[in-house]
């Protein structure tokens, strides 16, 4: 509850008025301040002290700091800059300190402390880097990049703790987004510095795994449908998670074991006859040459946006013929390479 002095605007605290030079009591009065800069423009109603003697506004550091924090939040919001709350959430999610995360990002040790304090606003570049870290795959990539600089960091307590938390976040993502992300993580576990996986390649590996699962096992390994985009088959939910990576290599994750024997046979076949042999653009070319993709894009021009689903029935029909033509069976899956050689001639 406000006391009588606060209701009237009169305060007991004495402040020095630089206008008349008196150390006097003051009144808090409402005034409108305008803020304008690159990417933001707004007005804010604030209460500031006014001198009881001459009526001039008085500077008070405590009051100005509080106003600056409120203004900073509005500036961040209008410029779509990462909020203090979001930064704290990232720190809590991965159990890292402000100083440790600043080091990972290659910033000064107190940079994040200033951002969290509320009076310093991140620039757009730094804000975007922080926003990306909400994605556990991006945080995993950040840890990987730092390990390349020095292997000694791998044994740091902070590094181990962050790595453990990232792994748990990836497991949560698997549970919330379905089995397709278990397949995603299986392929990422096969990657290495010498043979990285890009987002473009990952989408095609998921597609070919699904196609051979439908043909050989009678059902898809996961439920998701893919769409016939310009650069081949794409699973939209996977795209949303990895679009930030663009053409960068995706991070390697820990080995996962969530699959039945038949599923592992198909996964290893796609690794052996697709991932180990062809680059991302070649995988795209294979997809473009096959009937299910061409059928889904019928009526669309080359390069035209398309979100048509590549139907499971279409995949079953086409790949069913391939099984017969090349005598491919679950017990002899190596003949997939004969099919690919013929397709790419």
Local confidence band at 5 (pLDDT 50, 70, 90 cut-offs):
very low
Token digits for 333? 């899956």
Torsion sign, CA atoms 137, 139, 143, 145: positive
97-150: per-residue pLDDT in tens?
A: 999 999 999 998 889 998 888 668 888 899 999 999 999 999 999 998 888 656
Measuring CA to CA, which residue among 157, 159, 138 is closest to residue 147?
159
- Co-location of 45 and 123 in the same domain: no
* Last-in-domain residue among 78, 113, 143: 78
- Co-location of 21 and 100 in the same domain: no
Host domain of residue 72: 4-78
Number of domains the chain contains: 3
28-66: per-residue pLDDT in tens?
A: 999 999 998 877 889 999 999 998 888 899 989 889 988
- Co-location of 256 and 239 in the same domain: yes
Specify the pLDDT at position 118.
60
Q: Is the pLDDT of residue 8 over 60?
A: no
Measuring CA to CA, which residue among 338, 228, 195, 244 is closest to residue 294?
228
Local confidence band at 2 (pLDDT 50, 70, 90 cut-offs):
very low
* Last-in-domain residue among 78, 95, 119: 78
Average pLDDT of span 273-297? 97
Which residues, 6 or more positions from 202, have their beta carbon under 8 angstroms from its beta carbon?
Answer: 184, 187, 188, 238, 242, 250
- Co-location of 8 and 127 in the same domain: no
DSSP state of 329: B
242-284: per-residue pLDDT in tens?
A: 999 988 999 999 877 779 999 999 999 999 999 999 999 999 9
- Co-location of 264 and 303 in the same domain: yes
- Co-location of 229 and 257 in the same domain: yes
The CATH number assigned to the domain holding 61 equals: 3.10.20
Token digits for 56? 């001039």
Specify the pLDDT at position 326.
96
Local confidence band at 4 (pLDDT 50, 70, 90 cut-offs):
very low
Percent share of the chain, pLDDT over 90? 64
- Co-location of 47 and 191 in the same domain: no
- Co-location of 303 and 192 in the same domain: yes
Cα end-to-end distance, the chain, whole Å: 82
Local confidence band at 153 (pLDDT 50, 70, 90 cut-offs):
low
* Last-in-domain residue among 174, 197, 230: 174
Query: Using alpha carbons only, what angle is made at residue 171 by residues 170 and 176, rounded to the nearest 5 degrees?
Result: 95
- Co-location of 199 and 304 in the same domain: yes
pTM: 0.79
Token digits for 75? 């500036």
- Co-location of 207 and 287 in the same domain: yes
- Co-location of 213 and 300 in the same domain: yes
List, in sequence order, every residue forming a beta bridge with 31; answer none if it has no partner.
Answer: 46
Report how far residue 104's alpha carbon sits from residue 99's, in angstroms, rounded to the nearest whole number.
9
- Co-location of 150 and 90 in the same domain: yes
Number of C-beta neighbours around residue 59 at 10 A: 12
């Amino acid at each position: 509850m406000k006391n009588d002095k606060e209701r009237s605007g009169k305060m007991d605290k004495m402040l020095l008025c630089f206008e008349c030079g008196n150390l006097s009591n003051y009144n808090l009065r409402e005034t409108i301040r305008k803020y304008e800069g690159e990417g933001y423009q707004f007005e804010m109603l604030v209460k500031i002290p006014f001198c009881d003697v001459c009526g001039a506004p008085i500077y008070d550091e405590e009051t100005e700091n509080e106003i600056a924090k409120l203004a900073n939040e509005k500036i961040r919001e209008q410029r779509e800059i990462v909020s203090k709350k979001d930064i704290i959430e990232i720190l809590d999610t991965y159990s890292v300190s402000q100083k440790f995360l600043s080091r990972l990002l290659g910033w000064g040790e107190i940079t994040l402390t200033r951002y969290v304090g509320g009076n310093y606003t991140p620039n757009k570049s730094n804000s975007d880097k922080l926003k990306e870290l909400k994605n556990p795959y991006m945080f995993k990539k950040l840890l990987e990049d730092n390990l390349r600089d020095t292997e000694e960091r791998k044994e740091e307590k902070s590094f181990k703790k962050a790595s453990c938390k990232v792994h748990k976040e990836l497991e949560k993502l698997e549970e919330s987004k379905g089995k397709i992300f278990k397949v995603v993580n299986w392929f990422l576990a096969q990657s290495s510095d010498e043979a990285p996986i890009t987002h473009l390649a990952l989408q095609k590996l998921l597609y070919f795994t699904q196609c051979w699962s439908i043909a050989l096992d009678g059902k898809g390994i996961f439920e998701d449908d893919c769409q016939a985009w310009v650069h081949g088959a794409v699973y939209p939910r996977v795209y949303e998670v990895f679009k930030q990576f663009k053409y960068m290599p995706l991070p390697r994750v820990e080995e996962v074991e969530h699959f039945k024997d038949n599923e592992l046979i198909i996964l290893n076949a796609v690794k052996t006859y697709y991932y180990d042999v062809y680059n991302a653009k070649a995988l795209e070319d294979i997809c473009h040459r096959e009937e299910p993709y061409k059928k889904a894009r019928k009526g669309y021009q080359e390069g035209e946006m398309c979100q048509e689903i590549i139907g499971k029935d279409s995949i079953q029909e086409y790949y069913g013929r391939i099984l017969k033509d090349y005598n491919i069976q679950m017990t002899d899956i190596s003949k997939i390479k004969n099919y690919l050689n013929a397709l790419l001639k």
